[in-house]
Amino acid sequence: MRRNRLTAFTLIELLTVIAISAILMTLIILPVFQSFNLTRTAQAFADAQDKGRILTERIAREIGNAVSVRGGEGKVGTVVNGVEARVPFNTLVVRVPRLNADGTVRSPRSEIDIVLPNVKLDLVRPAEGDPARGPSGGFIDPVTGKEDPTLRNPKGQAVLPVAPGATIVRYFVGLRDPFRPYNNPYDGLLMQRAGGRDNLYVLYRAEVQPRVYSSDGYLANTEFFEESENGQPILDDPRFFLANVDGEGNLITTDERADRIRNWLRRAVVQTEVSRYDMIQPVFNRANRRVLMNGNVPNIIPLVQFRPTRVSNDPAEGQVAVRQGEEFANAGAAAPDVFTTQMGLWTNALVRMWPVGWNANDSASNEYLVGRYDPRNGLDDGTQYAPGFSIYAYDPDAAADDYLAGVELFDLYTYDRVLNTGNRYPFTQARAAANGRSGWFSNPRLRAMFTPFALDAAKGKIISSFGVSEVGNPEVSPPGNNSTNLPVAFGSREGENQAYTPTTGDPYLAGTIGDDNHAPSSQGSSINALYNLVFKRWQEDPNLQGLDASRIQRFIDLRVLPQADGSEGPLTPVGHKVSIVPGSEEVEGPDQNPGPNYGNRVRYVRTTGIPGPNQYRINYTDLPEPTDYTLLGLTPAAVAGFDRNTYNRDNFVSAIIQPQFKAGYIQLCSDPNVPIPADAPNVPNGPIQNESEIRVNYRFQFTASRTGSSATLPGAARDVFAVDYDSRQLMNVLLTIRNYPQSSVPNPQTITLQSTAKVRNYIR
């Protein structure tokens, strides 16, 4: 019998072959996988670079075409982790997972609020289309030429010259799904690596109308914005895209805020990718991959920032103080009341003002003013700091840092708040608020330095003048017929029906110039009565007869004339370097010309000569004052008791002659035979009751300049302003794209790009 022998591999041979094959496969396949990862990584990097370049160019182009960039000085109130806080206007609040104190991931998971600055950009688009409406109140569609009730805003070509429209473009950072918690399953920094879809922060763009038209006019668009108490849309809510949470930390999806967020989602378009792109970056220790903490808050930085450009020490240019054809006495001493910087749209402004006579080399005259926010505001150290922007007097010999040191003189935060809410007397309240903290009223040196100003941050202007209607006693209501509290002088005593001249039996000729019937500082005085008394004394008193007849005048002295509510006026002679803004005054009084309008209220006309009926001459600034008043024809006896530094209504020189050289002096028609008309009952074509009063409206300023020989003295010849500020007129867009590639690479691919754009259509 023949036996067949079967052959095969032994187990050892098979194991050897398998091992060799595995080694060969590893040597071949690993590079394939690595090349796959490298390809995916390079693709992610290129994709991030392309996306970043497109986005920065698009945003820069929209900034250039905008009319303005919203924002501004100050802060907005909100709640961060259950605590009231104030944050800048361009800030948003986001939520991320709460970590342990050492930066490690916490379990079970909870969330914490994070404040991200400069992650919201609001661009005001130009007005477009025809604002005309159809028969039913809807806008006209320029394509069809018919009324379209669905249009919320005019559309079409930009209206020239460019004006702000009703639409804003908002770029902002928010969760892809704002009704789910943040989920980053890739890097293991804020949470454990896991599967499932991510929910990262993305960059949105939305076009909305803050106000919409209705039959009642333009109202707040409550589909997107919460409405304030005064009916205006709240445009700067830092939590506008953040859903509320209940007591257990669950997101609320059924309240008004949730409805507004859904409206934003319907209108907004994601500018980055909806997955694997994240617009926030935890700061972590690369050695142990633990997130760095600020107390119990993880250190998170935004990957898109819309930053205004910082401008340092920009000298503010004074505007024209006196125009040709409007000259007046001592016009060289008039200083501008408006100062403009190179760019507008200020944020974080710091203003320095070096006053007339400032000399850095003289310790007695090197003080200057600083307008700023107090960085210590909000500290609970028992000291009361200014709540916002205030003006401080700073002495470099007493402190080395004008960011903190100084004596508060004017609370601009209070001024703006009172002015914007329509309350009474913002200037008085702002000055009093600062004095309540610093007590500067009693310091003569500080009173001499006092140069308040207001800011128009949007237009990049410093305004150093204020309206006289902003002065008064907040505790006292103004008279019903003078709601703006303007100072009032009476031509004849109130209730009199005859205007007396020096020769028509004036019943008050027996008084004195300082009594209540005559004194310019008395609300019961009469211009006619004082003039008649002075005219009589000039005729009869040998000590006055040398005085030129042109010095006997009907006049109003605004320095001592009280406001309508009886409070002190802004020109009071107490050491302020105050003057009247040239051309700002309005003088109204009874018509002095015979005829059917005699006695009715008319507006008087300024003249630089001798005033006639219905005319006046005014001193905007102090005029050169005589060193010796006897040179005017007065005897030494008439000048006796006169103190040029102290007003005395009982002294003839102080009350009658010296005011002619002071700012706020208004000379009226001084013809002895043409008195200011008196009150009379209402009769057809006759004078109107109480029309004898003369009201004066004006703006007053504290900026000044030297004139004449004093201009050559050491120190600054005029008040000078310089401003440090961030200008939103020139925006920097800093964008970082953080892309997680579809590979096993643990770190994202990151590209950072920057662009700068100027708001070209901004109208200042």
d(Cα 347, Cα 349) in Å, to the nearest integer? Answer: 6
Contact call for residues 307 and 732 (beta carbons, < 8 A): yes
Structure tokens at 534: 């002075």
In a domain, 710, yes or no: no
d(Cα 243, Cα 79) in Å, to the nearest integer? Answer: 13
Pair 254, 153 in one domain: no
- By mean pLDDT, which of 337-341, 428-432, 577-581, 707-711 is the weakest? 707-711
Contact call for residues 764 and 460 (beta carbons, < 8 A): yes
Q: 572: which residues sit within 8 A by CB, 6+ positions away? A: 559, 560
Mean pLDDT of 463-480: 92
In a domain, 460, yes or no: no
Per-residue model confidence (pLDDT) at position 42? 62
In a domain, 341, yes or no: no
Residue 643's nearest CA partner among 654, 627, 632, 628 is 654
Instruction: Report pLDDT digits (tens) over 492-549.
Output: 887 777 888 998 888 888 889 999 889 988 877 899 999 999 999 999 999 999 999 9
d(Cα 217, Cα 224) in Å, to the nearest integer? Answer: 18
In a domain, 468, yes or no: no
d(Cα 132, Cα 140) in Å, to the nearest integer? Answer: 7
Sign of CA pseudo-dihedral 545, 551, 554, 559: negative
- What are the two backbone dihedrals, phi and then psi, of residue 208, each rounded to the nearest 5 degrees? -140, 160
In a domain, 588, yes or no: yes
292: Cα within 13 Å, side-chain hemisphere: 10
Structure tokens at 32: 């394939």
Indicate the residue among 159, 175, 199 that finishes a domain. Answer: 159
Mean pLDDT of 748-763: 82
Q: 286: which residues sit within 8 A by CB, 6+ positions away? A: none
Pair 686, 743 in one domain: no
Per-residue model confidence (pLDDT) at position 159? 67
CA angle 339, 357, 353 (to 5 degrees): 35
Instruction: Report pLDDT digits (tens) over 419-458.
Output: 988 899 999 999 999 999 999 998 989 998 999 999 998 8
Pair 551, 623 in one domain: yes
Domain containing 616: what range?
488-702
Instruction: Report pLDDT digits (tens) over 602-650.
Output: 999 999 899 999 999 999 988 889 999 999 999 999 999 999 889 999 9
Which of helix, strand or coil describes residue 227?
A: strand
Q: Is the pTM of this model over 0.85?
A: no
Contact call for residues 708 and 332 (beta carbons, < 8 A): yes
Pair 597, 744 in one domain: no
d(Cα 153, Cα 141) in Å, to the nearest integer? Answer: 10
- By mean pLDDT, which of 28-42, 63-77, 297-311, 744-758 is the weakest? 28-42
Residue 667's nearest CA partner among 503, 584, 551 is 551
Pair 734, 685 in one domain: no
Q: What is the largest CA-CA distance in the chain?
A: 175
Structure confidence at residue 308 as a pLDDT band (50, 70, 90): very high
d(Cα 219, Cα 609) in Å, to the nearest integer? Answer: 53
Structure confidence at residue 44 as a pLDDT band (50, 70, 90): low
- Range with top average pLDDT, 40-44, 375-379, 643-647: 643-647
Mean pLDDT of 11-31: 78
CA angle 16, 20, 26 (to 5 degrees): 145
Contact call for residues 736 and 752 (beta carbons, < 8 A): yes
User: Per the structure, how many domains does the chain have?
Assistant: 3
Q: 338: which residues sit within 8 A by CB, 6+ positions away? A: 318, 319, 461, 462, 463, 464, 465
Pair 181, 155 in one domain: no
- By mean pLDDT, which of 9-23, 108-122, 386-400, 732-746 is the weakest? 732-746
Per-residue model confidence (pLDDT) at position 686? 47
- Range with top average pLDDT, 171-180, 567-576, 705-714: 171-180
Indicate the residue among 106, 138, 159 that finishes a domain. Answer: 159
Structure tokens at 198: 């991510």
Mean pLDDT of 112-139: 83
437: left (phi over 0), alpha (psi -120 to 50) or beta: alpha
Pair 553, 622 in one domain: yes
Structure confidence at residue 683 as a pLDDT band (50, 70, 90): very low
Structure tokens at 254: 């059924």
Pair 580, 659 in one domain: yes
Contact call for residues 287 and 295 (beta carbons, < 8 A): no
Cα 744 to chain center, whole Å?
A: 52
d(Cα 274, Cα 200) in Å, to the nearest integer? Answer: 8
Find the distance separating the first CA and the last CA of the chain, reported in whole Å: 118
Q: Is a pLDDT exceeding 50 seen at residue 364? A: yes
Sheet holding 693-697, edge to edge: 488-490, 693-697, 586-590, 601-603
Pair 620, 739 in one domain: no
Pair 115, 153 in one domain: no
**Average pLDDT score over the chain:** 85
Per-residue model confidence (pLDDT) at position 161? 61
Residue 260's nearest CA partner among 219, 210, 199 is 210
Pair 288, 241 in one domain: yes
Per-residue model confidence (pLDDT) at position 181? 93
d(Cα 542, Cα 544) in Å, to the nearest integer? Answer: 5
In a domain, 331, yes or no: no
Pair 262, 140 in one domain: no
In a domain, 440, yes or no: no
Structure confidence at residue 575 as a pLDDT band (50, 70, 90): low
Q: Is a pLDDT exceeding 90 seen at residue 243? A: yes
Contact call for residues 174 and 201 (beta carbons, < 8 A): yes
- Number of H helices and E strands in the chain, helices first, is 8, 42
More confident residue, 27 or 374: 374
Where does 66-121 have alpha helices with state H? Answer: none
Q: Is a pLDDT exceeding 70 seen at residue 764? A: no
| Number of neighbours of residue 395 by Cβ within 10 angstroms | 16
In a domain, 646, yes or no: yes
